[in-house]
A and B are shown apart, each in its own frame.
Chain A
Amino acid sequence: MRRLALALALALSACTPSPESYVGASAEDSAAADRAIEAGDRAAAIERLRAIVEREVPSSLAEEDARVIRQDAYDRWARVALDAGELDEAEAAVGRGLALGERDDVFTANLLTTRGRIHEARERDREAARDYHRALVIQEALLEQALGGSDE
């Protein structure tokens, strides 16, 4: 009976991805995407970035930590697509990233800036200006915190 319980417990733990494997695999994909971007290999970069956002998030990973990892990947995916003139793909990626939640941090500011670029490319100047302004407000607040912290 003990063996049965142990086997069941092991099976349950095997079905749930661990947070260390999630973070580790995402870090590897992120570094590989950087190398692909530098090499100009757009398809390989997107494949790695897509792997990050499609990876199953472990239940034991804090939701905000998953958001940071995934928003960063969505922003880079959108920028790679934007640079290639794939506006629909870029807009879809940035939309999925912002749908994860908007916070006053670098990752949300990056997505807003990239969406502003996409609006600009589509000649939607008003929407572009709105996104740039929102990104600017976040970045100025973060800069103020950073400079204030360094003075102390």
Chain B
Amino acid sequence: MSDDDDIDARELREAEALARALERGYAADDLPDDALQTAALIRYSKDGGALSEAREDALLEEVLAAADRAHPAPASRWRWLFGALGLAAAAALLLILVRAPDSSPTALPAPNAGLLEAELARLDDPSAEPRFDAEMRAYRGEVYAALERRYGRR
């Protein structure tokens, strides 16, 4: 087969593809880019690019199907569940923020000299324990009272 025969066969295929494109309004894969542009120009000059009614219907169906695929309708049941969970999470966060702990220690009363002297005395003399116990019990009461003033009494 000569080069001329080969060129003729290729030109013939392109010409057929061009004819189909002009007839249908769209191109098949075997149409080269320059031929596609040519077909579009010829078609546009002939009918202003207008689509046939059948072609318009087919395109509309394709567009609607593509839109459905891009935005699937959410299941209303899940939407409500996610909404409820979101609201519950917000409520929990609010509760945590409202009840955020103040980490600073309570200003406890300072131990008085009587307690500290009793503490020092019991280091030297175990018989001083009862005095220390009495002083410590009184101080403990002051400490709990300070804590209850801060945190509230039951």
Do A and B make up one complex?
A: yes
**Shortest distance in angstroms between B105's beta carbon and chain A's nearest beta carbon?**
3
* Nearest CB on A from B100, distance (A): 8
Q: Given A23-B151, A24-B148, A139-B120, A62 and B101 touching (CB < 8 A)?
A: yes
Please report which residues of chain A, range 63-114, place their CB below 8 angstroms from some CB of chain B when the two chains form the complex: 63-65, 68-69, 72, 106, 109-110, 113
- Name B120's contact: one of A16, A30, A140, A147 (CB within 8 Å): A140
The answer to whether residues A8 and B92 also contact, given A20-B154, A72-B140, A143-B120 and a CB cut-off of 8 A, is: yes
Q: Nearest chain A CB to B114's CB is how many angstroms away?
A: 9
B40 within 8 A of A: no
Contact with A along B38-70 (1 / 0, CB 8 A): 000000000000000000000000000000000
B123 shortest CB reach to chain A, Å: 6
The count of chain B contact residues (Cβ–Cβ below 8 Å) is: 43
- List the B side residues contacting A147 at CB < 8 Å: 113
Q: B-side binding surface: helix, strand, loop or mixed?
A: helix
Contact with B along A1-40 (1 / 0, CB 8 A): 1101110110011001001111111110010001000000
Interface residues of A, Cβ cutoff 8 Å to B: 1-2, 4-6, 8-9, 12-13, 16, 19-27, 30, 34, 59-65, 68-69, 72, 106, 109-110, 113, 132, 135-136, 139-140, 142-143, 145-147, 149-150
Interchain residue pairs with CB less than 8 A apart (9): A4-B87, A23-B154, A62-B102, A64-B105, A106-B116, A106-B119, A106-B136, A142-B116, A146-B110
- 4 nearest interchain CB pairs? A24-B154, A64-B105, A20-B152, A60-B101
User: Residues of B with Cβ closer than 8 Å to A?
Assistant: 80, 83-84, 87-88, 90-92, 94-95, 99-106, 108, 110-113, 115-117, 119-120, 122-123, 136-137, 139-140, 143-144, 147-148, 150-154
